[in-house]
């Protein structure tokens, strides 16, 4: 991490876990454990848990995010949630383009771009996920793939608006598998993404952008991953469902 020029952010992605009452209990347990953090602490939770999460985190250093949002402000889109709704609730962050959305719900680079722009228009901070599958890594196209995902996602996004974008490099093969990228692999791809940002905008924008690593980051490997200069935090799945483990990662990012 390079804390002098950019913010370190540890964000949990709860995915489809926890009910509202479980949300209240877990955040109450986490609050004292992360209160001294010297990094941003964010929890992205299911839509139905947002209200409970906002109440439980009130007055603490935990900020609340959503896991997705739609690309229109309102309309006939049964089952969807717009960033206008999230903003009114008090949500500050939203994950866009997670590989599980791409894999199971037909998300494409083009819809990622539309959702991202709509979220930025509502002043939400976007955690944009990019990353290659194992097959793509073995084909040697990781750099091209993450560059393409990043460029399409940020198409038509101004330099000013890009200040509210955080990128999470999440190799699909490392998600939920217990198979973490090595710190060198994480560093290499986060640096590639930073170069892509410099290419789209300029080096100041690239240097200032928070780029996280995600994929089986846990209490044991966080220190090593976060020691890398281009890894500015983490997007944490499984380990964000355990207060103690999550707080150890937050402490690693606070160094
Ligand atoms: P895990 O930490 O469970 O591998 O999940 C990572 C992830 O997908 C975060 O968005």
What are the distances in angstroms from CA 7 to CA 116, 210, 224, 231?
20, 6, 18, 11
Going from the Cα of 234 to the center of ligand 1, the distance in angstroms, rounded, reads 9
Distance of alpha carbon 221 from its chain centroid, rounded? 18
| 176-215 pLDDT, tens digit each | 888 889 999 999 999 999 999 999 999 999 999 999 999 9
Based on the residue annotation, tell me whether 98 is a catalytic residue of this protein.
yes
Mutate which of 99, 237, 246, 248 for ligand 1 pocket (most atoms within 8 A of beta carbon)? 237
CA dist 169 and 149 (Å) reads: 11
| 42-63 pLDDT, tens digit each | 999 999 999 999 999 999 999 9
Torsion of CA 127, 133, 137, 138, to 10 degrees: 180
Going from the Cα of 4 to the center of ligand 1, the distance in angstroms, rounded, reads 27
Alpha carbon nearest to ligand 1 atom 1, residue: 237
Q: Which of 100, 132, 170, 187 is catalytic?
A: 170
* Ligand 1 closest atom vs CA 217: 2
Say yes or no to pLDDT of 141 above 90: yes
Q: Say if strands 62-66 and 93-96 run parallel, antiparallel, or are unpaired.
A: parallel
* Ligand 1 closest atom vs CA 238: 3
Beta-strand (E) ranges in 85-159? Answer: 93-96, 125-130
Domains defined along the chain, listed by start: 9-253 (3.20.20.70)
Residues lining ligand 1, Cβ inside 6 A: 13, 98, 170, 175-176, 214-217, 235-239
- Angle CA(246)–CA(147)–CA(98) in degrees, nearest 5? 40
Going from the Cα of 218 to the center of ligand 1, the distance in angstroms, rounded, reads 10
| 97-126 pLDDT, tens digit each | 999 999 999 999 999 999 999 999 999 999
Q: Supply the pTM of this predicted model.
A: 0.98
């Amino acid at each position: 991490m390079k804390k002098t020029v950019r913010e370190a952010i540890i964000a949990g992605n709860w995915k489809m876990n926890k009910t509202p009452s479980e949300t209240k209990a877990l955040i109450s347990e986490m609050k004292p454990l992360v209160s001294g953090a010297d990094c941003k602490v964010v929890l992205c939770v299911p839509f139905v848990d947002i209200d409970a999460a906002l109440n439980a985190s009130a007055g603490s250093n935990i900020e609340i995010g959503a896991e997705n949002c739609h690309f229109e402000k309102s309309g006939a889109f049964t089952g969807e949630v717009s960033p206008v709704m999230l903003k009114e609730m008090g949500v500050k962050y939203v994950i866009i383009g997670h590989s599980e959305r791409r894999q199971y719900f037909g998300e494409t680079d083009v819809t990622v771009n539309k959702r991202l722009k709509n979220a930025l228009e509502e002043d939400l901070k976007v955690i944009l996920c990019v990353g290659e599958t194992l097959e793509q890594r073995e084909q040697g196209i990781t750099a091209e793939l993450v560059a393409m995902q990043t460029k399409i996602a940020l198409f038509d996004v101004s330099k000013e608006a890009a200040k509210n974008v955080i990128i999470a490099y999440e190799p699909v093969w490392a998600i939920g598998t217990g198979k973490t990228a090595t710190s060198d692999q994480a560093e290499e791809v986060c640096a590639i993404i930073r170069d892509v940002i410099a290419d789209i905008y300029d080096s100041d924008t690239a240097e200032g952008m928070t780029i996280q690593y995600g994929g089986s980051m846990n209490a044991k490997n966080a220190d090593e991953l976060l020691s890398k200069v281009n890894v500015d935090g983490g997007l944490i799945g499984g380990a964000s469902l355990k207060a103690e483990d999550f707080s150890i990662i937050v402490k690693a990012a606070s160094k």
